[in-house]
Amino acid sequence: MPRDPRYDILFEPVKIGPVTAKNRFYQVPHCTGSGWQRPRTLAGLRETKAEGGWGVVCTEYCSIHPSSDDTPYPAASLWDEGDIRAQSLMTEKVHAHGALAGVELWIGGARTPNLGTREVALGVTSMPNLAGNPFQTRAMDRQDIRDLRLWHRNAALRAKQAGFDIAYVYATHGYLLSHFLSPIHNTRRDEYGGSLENRLRIVQELIEDTKDAVGDSMAVAVRFSAETNGGGGDDGNPIAGETTDIFEMIGELPDLWDINVGDYSFEMGVSRFVEQGALEPYVSQIKAMTTKPVVSTGRFTSPDMMASQVKRGIVDFIGAARPSIADPFLPKKIEEGRIDDIRECIGCNICYMGDGKGVPIGCTQNPTMSEEWRRGWHPERVQPKRSERRVLVVGAGPAGLEAAHILGKRGYAVMLAEATRDLGGRVSQESKLPGLSQWGRVRDYRLQQIDKLPNIEVFRESRLSIDDILAVGADHVAIATGAAWRRDGFGTANPQGIAGLTEGATVLSPNDIMAGRMPEGPTLVFDDEHYYMASILAEAIRLTGQPVTFVTPDDSVSAWGGFTVDRWRARSHLMALGIDIITAHNLESFSDEEAVLACQYSGAKRIINAEHIVPVTARAPLDDLYHVLQEAIEAGTDGAPQTVARIGDCNAPSIIAAAVFAGHRYARELEEEIDRANPLKHDRVFFEDAIMKMPFNARR
């Protein structure tokens, strides 16, 4: 289909200093969890974005020197020759698809612990480490500032050698340059502290240095917070502060402004709390302050909203991290008029979790993320089927839907049987909970695709028994029947379950609540899972007017949500709803409307009155069909398939992303020869480059 002319504006080339982007789709710097350790994985990931039509593809934060070391979080680096080689892998691949490559040169300051390199972190003053470590920065003296400028310049020169087209000066997100800008943190008395002119000096010098070093052929971008040194909207202006003054002074200096806000939990907030395009009130004022192109983000997946942002003069480039992860081919799909095929980001931040854990990022919507090189998975293409054999997929949750979709794409004859009328499994149930409506996109994308494939037959309201499966006589069967929340309280804190949690109206499982069985009366939600489910169920119950107490053995609410940046917002949200929160307490037993809690530190007991308990602790895999089918295969029963596999939650209950991944993997690998001893390519830095990173003495 031809492109809708409404979106033509998105495909206009835009000049950025000495270089020109072929269109307005700009993959802003984002973490990948691969950094300098996995150069090929990274190059494969970034190449896929360029192939998918992004006009600009950037690195993650890229350390200019060992004094900016975020280990164990894997940043990129441009410290030496080896890094140039590693980064060239990416730039060559990005250029091969006509895109520009950008590098986000990064100086850590008080947010970096330098645990890997043991270098002392440099700070605007001697200030505590902001990542929670019990050590401080060294207050930079004039020599440190001269060194820093030289390191930044040299990193820019290496970036040029590595083939980059855009170099960043990174002046936000609580890293060193934000502290120089800040009137609170910057208490220096020299020419780098005091007046705004002085506080801005280092940023200005780094922009000038970078332009001087590489500005003939590379653009210089500045990543900057719209509400620098103030704002927040108390006076109705979300960017009140020093932004206007700063733009009066250096608004024309860089070739591009990459605008965001300092608070990650808003800038890249989960969809439960932050809408698409939420940065607009912050960004909208920037373009009036500069003639240079402006890029910003907003989890944009709607081409209408993208075009509107450009037409209304909010931005020149549509910046994206998450939408480009969920669908690296988003620009191509808009260009080819295939809007239905866009795999929309659901705003869950599982991608960010990967980086926080120091592993290659995954994505709930895009199971091929970070697998481009090491497993050879392409987000849009799969290899054709190997035979005419028929495949039955039992269960249409995220695992079953993805398996059926990819098997169908490979050309297999697929039957997808689902017990209920609704397809989507847990995704359909959870997306009805407060704030989770966008979870439904996991189902919707796959149903759209399945609808287009005539070789997939979908059977709703078909709860299959073993006899039904044998009667179908499929060659391969994938069991994707999911898992059910346990009612007995079994979990990390209570490996033998919780005394008194028996069947009956007093105990409601998360499945009960999602099925609409709401408690009436004071309810205790016990969270031993530590992700979103307990806090959202507490909210759902509270919204019906019932008093709710949220109890967790952990020190914080939704502790794992720290990796998806919703922990803080989840807790403040529950507080605003009037939910009582008790942390660091285990639920030991429950009887006669009394819940006995035990302090995790002292063991001291405490009694809470509750009529209902909702244990959010663990799930039981629903894998019976798998086991009986396996027996049938072994017994040579008539109609038994050649193979049976269990995938997703019925194999090992996990997050939705894991179910999608499992479904995808099953479908990709069916009838393929996979080396089980080496199922994926092992990425590593080049041996000689590792040598170069060693101190001089160790090299001999």
Catalytic entry in 175, 192, 352, 666: 175
Which of ligand ADP, ligand SF4, none interacts with 394 (beta carbon under 5 to 8 A by kind)? Answer: ligand ADP
225 vs 208: CA distance, rounded Å:
20
**409, amino acid identity:** K
Which of ligand SF4, ligand ADP, none interacts with 364 (beta carbon under 5 to 8 A by kind)? Answer: ligand SF4
Task: Show the DSSP H helices in 481-589 as ranges.
Answer: 510-514, 533-542, 567-576
Among 345, 414, 436, 559, binds ligand SF4 (CB under 6 A): 345
Identity of the residue, 185 or 441, whose beta carbon is nearer to ligand ADP in the bound complex:
441
- Contact at 8 Å (CB) between 18 and 218? yes
Listed ranges 20-28, 335-343, 479-487, 506-514: which one lies at the site for ligand ADP (CB under 6 A): 479-487
Which of ligand SF4, ligand ADP, none interacts with 67 (beta carbon under 5 to 8 A by kind)? Answer: none
305 vs 664: CA distance, rounded Å:
30
- Contact at 8 Å (CB) between 270 and 438? no
505 vs 486: CA distance, rounded Å:
15
* Residue 396 engages ligand ADP in binding (rule: CB under 6 A): yes
Q: What length is written for the chain?
A: 700
CB of 441 to ligand SF4, least distance (A): 8
If 0-12 CB within 10 Å is exposed, 13-18 middle and 19+ buried, where does residue 446 land? Answer: buried
Among 35, 53, 163, 347, binds ligand SF4 (CB under 6 A): 347
463-483 burial by CB neighbour count: b if 16+ within 10 A, else e? ebebeebbebebbbbbbbbbb
* CA-derived radius of gyration, the chain: 27
Which of ligand ADP, ligand SF4, none interacts with 77 (beta carbon under 5 to 8 A by kind)? Answer: none
* Residue 124 engages ligand SF4 in binding (rule: CB under 6 A): no
Helix (H, G, I), strand (E, B) or coil at 501: coil
Among 648, 664, 667, 689, binds ligand ADP (CB under 6 A): 648
Q: What angle do CA 60, 44, 30 make, to 5 degrees?
A: 20
CB of 528 to ligand ADP, least distance (A): 20
By CB under 6 A, what part of segment 659-698 binds ligand ADP?
659
CB of 262 to ligand ADP, least distance (A): 36
CB of 310 to ligand SF4, least distance (A): 22
- Contact at 8 Å (CB) between 476 and 389? yes
Give the DSSP H/E element, type plus range, for residue 635. Answer: helix 624-635
By CB under 6 A, what part of segment 349-378 binds ligand ADP?
none
If 0-12 CB within 10 Å is exposed, 13-18 middle and 19+ buried, where does residue 3 land? Answer: middle
CB of 378 to ligand ADP, least distance (A): 23
Which of ligand ADP, ligand SF4, none interacts with 349 (beta carbon under 5 to 8 A by kind)? Answer: ligand SF4
Listed ranges 96-104, 123-131, 340-348, 687-695: which one lies at the site for ligand SF4 (CB under 6 A): 340-348
CB of 350 to ligand SF4, least distance (A): 4
506-533 burial by CB neighbour count: b if 16+ within 10 A, else e? bbbbbbbbbeeebbeebbbbbbbbbbbb
Among 172, 349, 368, 558, binds ligand SF4 (CB under 6 A): 349
Question: What φ, ψ does residue 696 adopt, rounded to 5°?
Answer: -50, -50
6 vs 207: CA distance, rounded Å:
36
* Residue 417 engages ligand ADP in binding (rule: CB under 6 A): yes
Which of ligand SF4, ligand ADP, none interacts with 570 (beta carbon under 5 to 8 A by kind)? Answer: none
Which two three-digit tokens encode residue 272?
């439960």
Listed ranges 292-300, 391-399, 405-413, 435-443: which one lies at the site for ligand ADP (CB under 6 A): 391-399
Among 41, 297, 364, 586, binds ligand SF4 (CB under 6 A): 364
Return all residues near 669 (Cβ < 8 A) that are at least 6 apart. Answer: none
Identity of the residue, 14 or 650, whose beta carbon is nearer to ligand ADP in the bound complex:
650
Return all residues near 308 (Cβ < 8 A) that are at least 6 apart. Answer: none
Identity of the residue, 283 or 622, whose beta carbon is nearer to ligand ADP in the bound complex:
622
- Contact at 8 Å (CB) between 181 and 200? yes
Among 334, 346, 537, 655, binds ligand SF4 (CB under 6 A): 346
175 catalytic residue (yes or no): yes
Which of ligand ADP, ligand SF4, none interacts with 101 (beta carbon under 5 to 8 A by kind)? Answer: none
By CB under 6 A, what part of segment 482-501 binds ligand ADP?
482-483
- Contact at 8 Å (CB) between 114 and 67? yes
CB of 6 to ligand SF4, least distance (A): 25
* Residue 294 engages ligand SF4 in binding (rule: CB under 6 A): no
* Residue 326 engages ligand SF4 in binding (rule: CB under 6 A): yes
Identity of the residue, 341 or 554, whose beta carbon is nearer to ligand SF4 in the bound complex:
341
Listed ranges 360-368, 444-452, 490-498, 641-649: which one lies at the site for ligand SF4 (CB under 6 A): 360-368
- Contact at 8 Å (CB) between 84 and 41? no
Give the DSSP H/E element, type plus range, for residue 525. Answer: strand 523-527
Window 303-322: contact mask with ligand SF4 (x via CB under 6 A): -------------------x
CB of 21 to ligand ADP, least distance (A): 39
Q: Is 358 left (phi over 0), alpha (psi -120 to 50) or beta?
A: left
Question: What φ, ψ does residue 320 adopt, rounded to 5°?
Answer: -150, 135
Q: Which residue has the tokens 């991608």?
A: 351
Which of ligand ADP, ligand SF4, none interacts with 74 (beta carbon under 5 to 8 A by kind)? Answer: none
CB of 462 to ligand ADP, least distance (A): 6
60 vs 66: CA distance, rounded Å:
16
CA 90 to chain centre: 21
* Residue 351 engages ligand SF4 in binding (rule: CB under 6 A): yes
What does the binding site for ligand SF4 look like in residue numbers (CB under 6 A)?
322, 325-326, 345-351, 363-365
Task: List interacting residues with ligand ADP (CB under 6 A).
Answer: 394-400, 417-420, 425-426, 462-464, 480-483, 622, 625, 648-650, 659
Residues annotated catalytic, as ranges = 175
